[in-house]
């Protein structure tokens, strides 16, 4: 095994800091690198569903998040136009609330927790190259500012470096379950825009979501088909505001609110998995699995996969399990946990009209609080989609509707 660190983690946000923290807490020597410094923002809204909040609670970090003044989100309202319903999601463990902390707050909290656990953090430094020896990754070349690049070595290099991962590119990690970018997405913050918690709106070729965050602000993120990205670029504000007319009550609330920041957005939202490990390397977070933000799963998924990867590596580093077996288990667990939601996310992001059976099911939800809670729990990640959409559950919901009707 190469000398140096047990693990070098490239990228220090949701995936990287969480993984570094968990490995360091387990007693491993961890170097955590990021070209950013913290606190800093990144292009992302930040709804963290109950499973992500439950991870923060398990890690002893939820109290700090609550103390940051971030408002809890207890209700999800989903509005398809003709059909709308609101419910509280089922809990993840004991946690039934979501939060939408600014990334300046959340990522800083995670970085600090990694450092407190003993990880060595280097900010403002870029990993330029991955070192390979005898067919296995053995370390990285990293440059801070204008200084000469230095080599750092580790038993394993973890790419937590996001969608355009340098580590994934260097090791040529294969992609699978690939779908093209379906949406372009833009967001901004509003003051004076009251919400009932999380609000999600789906309309023909348009979707948007609104949720409260720090300092009394509400973030509103919108999506339109990726094919409109170029055409709409010149008038983001006009296109952003016009879609709200498809929900007049929401449009009225926006007219009464004040925009508090510039628009941020992208058309670079591909959907794919990467093989997340190979000799001496592994991927976590967006580096290993990227999807459209329409269902807001990225942060919660990064937390789940940080736990899965850190425990697999702990078994390897402690000599309990061979590398290949432990990391194959990580990939399997990640894919099993995420694939149904990945498919639902791509379906929603395609903004295609719902198939008739789904329309009928959705139509049954407003009059059936338990079923409505089931659907919002799927979106919140606390009820697996295959369980909710199982034929016997759908039949039960439809039968209850016929009896009531």
Ligand X SMILES: Cc1cc2nc3c(=O)[nH]c(=O)nc-3n(C[C@H](O)[C@H](O)[C@H](O)COP(=O)(O)OP(=O)(O)OC[C@H]3O[C@@H](n4cnc5c(N)ncnc54)[C@H](O)[C@@H]3O)c2cc1C
Residues in contact with ligand X by the rule CB under 6 A = 10-16, 33-36, 42-48, 126-127, 160-162, 166, 185, 221, 266, 285-287, 293, 296-300, 302
Q: Which two tokens stand for residue 302?
A: 């990064």
Q: How far is the CB of 368 from ligand X (least distance, A)?
A: 28
Which residue number, 288 or 371, has a Cβ lying nearer to ligand X? 288
CA distances from residue 28 to 6, 22, 116, 177 in whole angstroms, order as listed: 6, 9, 13, 33
Describe the crossing of helices 323-349 and 298-317 by its angle, rounded to 10 degrees.
170
Of 267 and 364, nearer to ligand X (C-beta) is 267
We find the least distance from the C-beta atom of residue 8 to ligand X, in angstroms, to be: 11
Residue 39, preceding bond cis, omega within 30 degrees? Answer: yes
**Running DSSP on this structure, what letter comes out for residue 149?**
P
Q: Are 60 and 154 in contact (CB under 8 A)?
A: no
In the block, tokens 């990945």 appear at: 342
User: Which residue, 97 or 166, has its beta carbon nearer to ligand X?
Assistant: 166
Beta carbon of residue 293, minimum distance to ligand X (angstroms, whole number) = 3
Smallest gap from Cβ 67 to ligand X, in A, equals 21
CB of 125 to ligand X, least distance (A): 6
Q: Which C-beta is closer to ligand X: that of 253 or that of 290? A: 290
At closest approach, how far in Å is the CB of 160 from ligand X? 5
Could you tell me which residues come within 8 angstroms of residue 403 by beta carbon, excluding any fewer than 6 positions away? none
Please identify, using beta-carbon distances, which residue of 45 and 188 lies nearer to ligand X.
45
Which residue's Cβ lies closest to ligand X?
Answer: 298
Q: How many CB atoms lie within 10 A of CB 316?
A: 18
Quick one: 280 or 288, whose CB is closer to ligand X?
288
* Minimum distance of ligand X from residue 202's CB (angstroms): 16
Buried b / exposed e across 34-47, counting CB within 10 Å, b at 16+? Answer: bbbebeeeeebbbb
d(CA 245, CA 222): 13
Closest approach of Cβ 330 to ligand X, in Å?
15
Q: Does an H or E element contain 368, and which?
A: none
Q: Of 296 and 371, which CB lies nearer to ligand X in the complex structure?
A: 296
Q: Say what angle helices 298-317 and 50-58 make with each other, to 10 degrees.
A: 40
Pick the closer one to ligand X by CB: 185 or 271: 185
Nearest-angstrom CA–CA distance, 221 and 117: 35
Greatest alpha-carbon span in the chain: 74
């Amino acid at each position: 095994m190469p000398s140096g660190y047990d693990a070098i983690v490239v990228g220090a946000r949701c995936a990287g800091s969480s993984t570094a923290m968990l490995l360091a807490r387990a007693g491993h020597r961890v170097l955590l690198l990021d070209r950013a410094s913290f606190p800093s923002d990144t292009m992302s809204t930040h709804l963290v569903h109950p499973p992500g909040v439950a991870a923060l609670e398990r890690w002893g970090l939820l109290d700090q998040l609550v103390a940051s003044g971030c408002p809890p989100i207890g209700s999800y309202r989903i509005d398809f136009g003709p059909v709308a319903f609101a419910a509280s999601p089922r809990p993840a463990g004991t946690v039934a609330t979501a939060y939408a902390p600014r990334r300046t707050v959340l990522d800083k909290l995670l970085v600090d927790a990694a450092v407190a656990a003993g990880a060595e953090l280097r900010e403002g430094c870029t990993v330029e190259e991955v070192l390979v020896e005898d067919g296995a990754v053995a370390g990285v070349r990293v440059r801070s500012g204008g200084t000469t690049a230095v080599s750092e070595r580790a038993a394993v290099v973890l790419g937590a470096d996001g969608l355009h991962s340098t580590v994934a590119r260097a090791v040529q990690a294969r992609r699978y379950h690939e779908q093209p970018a379906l949406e372009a997405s833009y967001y901004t913050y509003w003051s004076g825009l009251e919400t009932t918690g999380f609000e999600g709106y789906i309309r023909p070729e348009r979707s948007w979501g609104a949720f409260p965050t720090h300092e009394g602000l509400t973030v509103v993120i919108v999506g339109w088909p990726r094919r409109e990205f170029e055409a709409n670029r010149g008038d983001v504000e006009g296109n952003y505001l016009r879609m709200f007319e498809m929900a007049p009550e929401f449009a009225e609330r926006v007219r009464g609110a004040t925009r508090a920041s510039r628009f941020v957005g992208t058309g670079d939202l591909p959907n794919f998995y990467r093989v997340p490990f190979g000799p001496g390397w592994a991927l976590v977070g967006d580096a290993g699995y990227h999807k459209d933000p329409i269902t807001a799963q990225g942060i919660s998924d990064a937390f789940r996969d940080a736990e899965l990867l850190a425990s697999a590596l702990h078994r390897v580093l402690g000599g309990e399990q061979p590398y290949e077996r432990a990391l194959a288990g990580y990939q399997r667990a990640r894919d099993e946990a995420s694939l149904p939601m990945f498919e639902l996310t791509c379906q929603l992001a395609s903004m295609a009209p719902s198939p008739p059976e789904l329309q009928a099911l959705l139509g049954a939800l407003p009059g059936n609080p338990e079923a409505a809670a089931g659907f919002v729990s799927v979106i919140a990640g606390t009820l697996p989609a295959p369980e909710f959409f199982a034929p016997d559950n759908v039949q039960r919901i439809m039968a209850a509707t016929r009896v009531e009707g």
